[in-house]
Amino acid sequence: MILVLEKGMTQVKKNQLKSVLAANGCMVHEPGGSGQNILGVIGKNSVTREFLMAQEGVVDIVPISTAYKLVSRQMQKEDSIIRIGNVEVGGDRLTIIAGPCAVESRDQAMTIAKEVKKYGATLFRGGAFKPRSSPYSFQGLEEEGLKILAEVRDVTGLRIVTEITSPMHADLMFKYVDVIQIGARNMQNFELLKCAGRMGKPVVLKRGLASTIEEWLMSAEYIAAEGNPNIILCERGIRTFEPYTRNTLDLSAIPVLKQLTHLPVLIDPSHATGIREKVSPMARAAVAAGADGLMIEVHHKPEEALSDGPQSLYPKQFGRLVRDIYVIAPVVGKQLFHDYTGSASPRKRSGEKRDGKGQRAVYLGEVGTFSHKAASQYFGTDMESSPVPSFRDIFEHVKIGEADFGIIPIENSLSGSIHENYDLLLEYELHITGELSLRVVHNLIAHPGTKIEDIKRVLAPPPAFQQCRRFLDANPDMKIVPVNATGSAVKRIAESGILEDAAIGSVEAARIFSMNVLEESIEDNPRNFTRFVVIEREPLAEGVKNKSSIVFSTSNNPGALFEVMKVFSENQINLVKLESRPIHGKPWQYMFYADLEADMMDSQKESVLGDIKKNTEFFRIIGSYNCGSDK
């Protein structure tokens, strides 16, 4: 059941209550990150409703109606995010686990690991103990396989996922692996589930061959009931009468699970289809349906694989799939894990500290802005990030070392460039080190209980008004009031209590400030994306860099800009954006900002740079980074 606690109850009082409950044999769960004052309690029959209501700070009791408790959405409204090293599974992230069905040799595992890492996997899979249908099939390299996996982790930095088939192997697994997998055949092996629960390592729990979603969640409950909340569900196809595919992939499990549980959901299209050509279409569909990640079998020589060769993708096919996913993800509000964009590397994140504190990112406005969402998608939720009042403040904070990263919107697909940031990029000598594209869905947000006809004023930043032009034209009685960010608009209407005021903003902002979405998706066109860039004091030193942003000015002569363009053309450098901005204090003279598909900081580009400089009066590389779409 859920205990509703009195508003503003201190953590000290909560802890006292938790001790009383524990002393009476209750299992207590405090949902993390929700900011709600509730406790989840699973009690023995002897713990009565009267006893609970009599405890200090308890104002109400809401029963959990499902058979599973700890993993239920009723217990925790927020999505669980499972951390494996610096990889996050769940929330706004898409995580890709890839590797062979089984570890066959050191060479095989290492070759595949390097390939899948190059193409964007952030966790490596491979079986060392294989549960095979036939006792005569390859059973895995056992401990030798685990040692190889550990070596793969040491060499590539990829954390390891492998299957446990018996509680007998718990010590071995504990020693070598990061995430343990419970396979479909063992989903209801309750001793194994309890063992995985006690081990405490993150668990990928596959759905049984013929299990209902409720049975699957009950199995997850077994793990959680042992005190291990780090559970990731993985749908891998169920047995049906259809023989064309190995199993039938139940994609409808994704929205069903999203309603029933807070646990992240992965899709394994490899075991689901059993056929190489069917893997990528189902993987793309899974992402579109809201999966939190994928588990994909990849082999460099699938025709020689000791198990599941016919369903294993070639590394290049896997690379193409990841590129597709990279494009689909923002449409459903997700982002591939940031290591794919190569920018916020683990080295950086655990790198130098500010006055003993962790690294920090700053963004515009208020919690709940799209900039905030971009920051948490890019850096992950364990990076401290905080809002500042203006774009200039972002640059200033990064410049003086108050923050390590700034994240700024640079252009929107409907309303165009954010010119102020172009000017600030020129003024401050900071460096672009990464980029991210975010789908922006605008909503009309107001106080609960108000109707659309009650609204007299709408608060939002000017670009949001431009993106919602049609809605505003259709509602001419609503007066527009510009503010600096969507999150600030929502906060202002929440704090003022004025029922006639509405704000334009994200569903997250509405939730954070306990406001109501009056009208969903009011942007003129659903293809509304904002491109953000990350700025730092130092240029990006390592990782894949396939895009550069430069700024230059030319002489005021005929063909001057053409001469610069000619250098790009002759060197086969693709220009993806060109923007001109007036030079302050020099009327009718312009700075050109260009984005190029090339690493202009690469030493091989020196002669190209020389040619550009010959044709420009001013030239600076603002940054070389990875845009994620070219590997």
Q: By CB under 6 A, name the binding residues for ligand PEP.
A: 101, 127, 183-185, 206, 236, 271
Cα(427)–Cα(391) distance, rounded to whole angstroms? 12
327: nearest Cα among 628, 620, 4, 9: 628
**Residue number with CB closer to ligand PEP (236 or 447):** 236
| Catalytic residue check, 532 | yes
On whether the CB atoms of residues 599 and 605 are closer than 8 A, the answer is yes
Cα(379)–Cα(377) distance, rounded to whole angstroms? 6
Q: Is 601 exposed, middle or buried (0-12, 13-18, 19+ CB in 10 A)?
A: middle
On whether the CB atoms of residues 154 and 129 are closer than 8 A, the answer is no
Q: Which of 530, 552, 554, 568 is catalytic?
A: 530
Cα(325)–Cα(221) distance, rounded to whole angstroms? 31
**Residue number with CB closer to Mn ion (101 or 503):** 101
**Residue number with CB closer to ligand PEP (188 or 484):** 188
Query: Residue 623's CB: how many other CB atoms inside 10 A?
Result: 24
Distance of CA 6 to the CA centre of its chain: 33
Taking the complex as a whole, the smallest distance from the CB of residue 254 to Mn ion amounts, in Å, to: 21
How many residues belong to the chain?
631
Judged by beta carbon distances under 5 to 8 A according to partner kind, the member of Mn ion, ligand PEP, none in contact with residue 501 is none
Q: Which of 129, 532, 552, 568 is catalytic?
A: 532
3-state secondary structure of 250: coil
Taking the complex as a whole, the smallest distance from the CB of residue 272 to ligand PEP amounts, in Å, to: 8
**Residue number with CB closer to ligand PEP (211 or 443):** 211
On whether the CB atoms of residues 4 and 62 are closer than 8 A, the answer is yes
Cα(472)–Cα(180) distance, rounded to whole angstroms? 52
Taking the complex as a whole, the smallest distance from the CB of residue 269 to ligand PEP amounts, in Å, to: 11
**Residue number with CB closer to ligand PEP (218 or 361):** 218
Give the CB-nearest residue to ligand PEP: 183
Taking the complex as a whole, the smallest distance from the CB of residue 206 to ligand PEP amounts, in Å, to: 4
**Residue number with CB closer to Mn ion (307 or 343):** 307
Binding site for Mn ion (CB under 5 A): 101, 308
Cα(625)–Cα(620) distance, rounded to whole angstroms? 15
Q: Which helix (H) or strand (E) holds 27?
A: strand 27-29
Judged by beta carbon distances under 5 to 8 A according to partner kind, the member of ligand PEP, Mn ion, none in contact with residue 231 is none
Judged by beta carbon distances under 5 to 8 A according to partner kind, the member of ligand PEP, Mn ion, none in contact with residue 375 is none
Cα(318)–Cα(280) distance, rounded to whole angstroms? 8
Three-state SS annotation for 291-343: CCEEEEEECCCHHHCCCCHHHCECHHHHHHHHHHHHHHHHHHCCEECHHHHCC
Judged by beta carbon distances under 5 to 8 A according to partner kind, the member of ligand PEP, Mn ion, none in contact with residue 184 is ligand PEP
Cα(521)–Cα(510) distance, rounded to whole angstroms? 13
Judged by beta carbon distances under 5 to 8 A according to partner kind, the member of ligand PEP, Mn ion, none in contact with residue 118 is none
Taking the complex as a whole, the smallest distance from the CB of residue 148 to Mn ion amounts, in Å, to: 17
**Residue number with CB closer to ligand PEP (271 or 605):** 271
Taking the complex as a whole, the smallest distance from the CB of residue 236 to Mn ion amounts, in Å, to: 9
Token representation of residue 592: 């050109």
**Residue number with CB closer to Mn ion (92 or 308):** 308
Judged by beta carbon distances under 5 to 8 A according to partner kind, the member of ligand PEP, Mn ion, none in contact with residue 349 is none
Compute the half-sphere exposure of residue 24: CA atoms within 13 Å on the CB side of its CA: 17
**Residue number with CB closer to Mn ion (101 or 199):** 101
Both ends of the chain: CA-CA distance in Å? Answer: 49
Taking the complex as a whole, the smallest distance from the CB of residue 191 to Mn ion amounts, in Å, to: 23
Taking the complex as a whole, the smallest distance from the CB of residue 102 to Mn ion amounts, in Å, to: 7
Judged by beta carbon distances under 5 to 8 A according to partner kind, the member of Mn ion, ligand PEP, none in contact with residue 463 is none
Q: Following DSSP, what letter does each residue of 275-289 receive, concatenated?
A: SHHHHHHHHHHHHHT
Cα(45)–Cα(556) distance, rounded to whole angstroms? 85
Cα(543)–Cα(81) distance, rounded to whole angstroms? 26
Q: What residues contact residue 65 under an 8 Å CB cut-off, 6+ apart?
A: 74
Taking the complex as a whole, the smallest distance from the CB of residue 175 to ligand PEP amounts, in Å, to: 21
User: What value, to the nearest 5°, has the Cα angle with vertex 210 and ends 204 and 211?
Assistant: 60
Judged by beta carbon distances under 5 to 8 A according to partner kind, the member of ligand PEP, Mn ion, none in contact with residue 236 is ligand PEP
Judged by beta carbon distances under 5 to 8 A according to partner kind, the member of ligand PEP, Mn ion, none in contact with residue 183 is ligand PEP
Catalytic site positions: 530, 532
